[in-house]
Chain A
Amino acid sequence: MNWNHIKALLLHSWYHTTHSKETQIDLFWFTLIQFLIFGLISKVISAQQPEVGTVLLLGFLLWEVVRIGQYSVTVSMLWEIWSKSFNSLFIAPLTMAEWIVSQMIAAVIKTVIVISSLAVLGMLFFQFSLLGLGLILPIYTAILIGFAYASGIFISGLIIRYGTNIQSFAWGLIYIFQPISAVFYPVDALPVQIRWTSYLSPITYVMEAARHQFATGEVRWSFIGIGAVVCLLYCVGAGLFTRHMYSRARKTGEFARLGD
């Protein structure tokens, strides 16, 4: 792993984000608008049931950690493919591992900037503070970003193998997890028959633990531990999958034709 290469790609990401209105709108504006809508809804609901309003905003912000992280890892690859420049990068002495690590670092920077800004707005306008999660907040965030990485790397693998035919996965695939991950409601709200699926998602453990902590002040370490292990399994699986897809695409010639 050459850190000069990673520095180059981080600078590349900075240049791209500052030039691309689409990226700015996707990452900052959409998130801000949605946050304001959720904030206002939570304000209305909080007049009757204060804890429900908190659950909504907490769920929204923690979910956005996953969405922004995953989007950032995957769409950065798509931007290169749309520009037909992805191959040019790999004609230079760059490895796929360096590309992925640099996108992971860029993703965490973007996520922290967006979520911190929203957290401040939450305090100012909706009397909601993520800091209520105290020192456990970075742990929750790490698990969620870990899952964002896993899904981002998995989708990158699909794109490397199947090209832009499946590019909509870059925005849409993560939403498969939203209904089963107890983002805005507890697992108990799901029908009994599909409740087990919730526990396949590491997001569930974070959401349940965070809500419980907000309500009682008590940290559910067991949930955090299980969530971290499940997340790690997803990361390993996604890494192996993408390595296989990369190797396959180089054999079939699809990697060289990406963007054609």
Chain B
Amino acid sequence: MSQSVLEVTNLTKRYGEYLAVDHISFAIGEGEILGLLGPNGAGKSTTIQMLLGLTDPDAGSIQYFGQEFATHKVKILKRINFASAYAELQQRLTAKQNLRIFGMLYEVENLERRIDELLALLEVEEYANELFWHLSSGQKTRVILAKALLNKPRMILMDEPTASLDPDIVHKIIQLIKELQEKEKVSILFTSHNMEEVARLCDRVAFLAKGKIVLTDTPLELTKKIGTTKLLLTFEAKQKVVADFLKQHHYPAEFIRPNLVEVSLAEENIPMVLFELKKLGVWITSLTTEQPSLEDVFLHISEKQRT
């Protein structure tokens, strides 16, 4: 991995008896996008709050650009930024006025030009002089993204930045994030409930559950770890024979229709299943396999944590 832009070591946060974040450690390299995923209550928000300096950790360290966040906070905050569909700006100011204030806080040079560039890039220039509270949630999210890019940050924390956006805008935002990564080597910590988006964007994904990081890997490797493939079989008659066979071999299966079954199994077992069914006289008319997705990994981990 390239040089770490963010390095988190043993970060811990406890609220009374509740351990919200439990000794997590991870790092993000230059130009890397790390997805931080986990079910509600996993500790994502608390982690982000600590990474932004809004909440003090109980233990552990956060280092940006090799410097301790706790002791170089203002200096570091100048070089990072945050975007979220759930963040807000001052409602009684116009979009442009809000950006101007933040630009002044970040001491951005050629501020007016930068604001105009970003408003155009995010296609919200026609709303520049609208009060923020008059904007739709999609327009607000784009203005907040413009705010997040104002200071040309080296690291951006993005908490569901595309929630509430129309699909065409989501596509543009994803492209923009990719460009930021590839052309400007911006590092990004990305959270989303859209697993397809995470799989497309993230170089690595860290799964949080009950405050701990339970898995970290590339999206592809993570899906391999699930180890099951979905096999969709359409066959002629003999539903009982198929059901008995699957039950006997302990393959989790769901009959979608009497002659259509979805079976979860290891990829290498597929030929054996097909062979055995043929031997039993089952006539298979079509078959489809579906590789596990990041969503399956998410569901698998969430389920495992619940049980």
Contact = CB atoms under 8 A, between A and B. Distances in A.
Interface residues of A, number: 35
Contact of B92 (A4, A8, A20): A20
Contacts of A4: 104-105, 107
Given A4-B104, A92-B106, A93-B106, A15 B52 contact: no
B131 A93 contact: no
Contact of B56 (A11, A12, A250): A250
Contacts of B132: 83
B137 to A, nearest CB: 13
Contact of A92 (B15, B77, B90): B77
Contacts of B97: 12, 15
Contacts, number: 96
B82 A79 contact: no
B78 interface: yes
B175 interface: no
B46 interface: yes
A256 B49 contact: yes
Interface string A232-260: 00000000000000010011110110010
B272 interface: no
Contact of B104 (A11, A95, A253, A255): A11
A83 B104 contact: no
Nearest to A92: B105
B54 A83 contact: no
**Majority-rule SS of B interface residues:** mixed
Nearest to B87: A88
Interface string B65-93: 00000000111011001100001111111
B90 A83 contact: yes
Nearest to A90: B54
Interface string B84-128: 000111111110010011101111000000000000000000000
Given A89-B105, A91-B54, A253-B46, A83 B77 contact: no
A4 B105 CA distance: 7
B138 interface: no
B153 to A, nearest CB: 11
B53 interface: yes
B194 interface: no
A92 B20 CA distance: 25
Contact of B82 (A80, A91, A93): A91
A8 B87 CA distance: 20
28 contacts: A4-B104, A5-B104, A5-B105, A9-B101, A11-B101, A16-B90, A19-B92, A80-B90, A84-B87, A84-B88, A85-B88, A85-B90, A85-B91, A90-B53, A90-B54, A91-B54, A92-B77, A92-B106, A93-B73, A93-B75, A94-B105, A247-B56, A250-B54, A252-B15, A253-B13, A253-B20, A256-B49, A256-B54
Interface of B: 13, 15, 20, 46, 49, 52-56, 73-75, 77-78, 81-82, 87-94, 97, 100-102, 104-107, 131-133, 147
Given A15-B101, A89-B105, A91-B81, 18 more contacts: A4-B107, A7-B104, A15-B93, A16-B92, A16-B93, A19-B93, A82-B91, A83-B132, A87-B54, A88-B87, A88-B147, A90-B53, A93-B75, A94-B105, A247-B56, A250-B56, A252-B15, A259-B88
